[in-house]
Amino acid sequence: MKLLKGDRNQCTSCEQYFNSIGAFEKHRTGKMDARRCLTPEEMISKGMSINHAGFWIGAKMPTNLFKLSGETNEDRN
């Protein structure tokens, strides 16, 4: 089990871990009366990925922005 603090959460339906509420909401689809979780393949096709801590994130930060800040992708995820 991963440590959940801040916005990090786990879906009670699919049991996947998410780095933020935004990433969690992005993995849900369908009308309110028939919502479901996206599969890992569907999440990847929507641009989501798993960070170094094992949590799904909504999207990776573009590499060119890291060069401006001096950070790496691993620092931000």
pLDDT in the model for residue 17: 98
Q: What is the pTM of this model?
A: 0.77
pLDDT in the model for residue 60: 80
The number of distinct structural domains making up the chain is 1
Residue 4 lies in a domain: no
**Which residues constitute the domain of residue 26?**
9-76
Residue 15 lies in a domain: yes
pLDDT in the model for residue 75: 46
Query: How high is the mean pLDDT in each 10-residue block of the chain (77 residues)?
Result: 94 97 97 95 96 93 65 49
Two tokens, residue 2:
């991963």
Torsion of CA 51, 57, 62, 67, to 10 degrees: -50
Residue 66 lies in a domain: yes
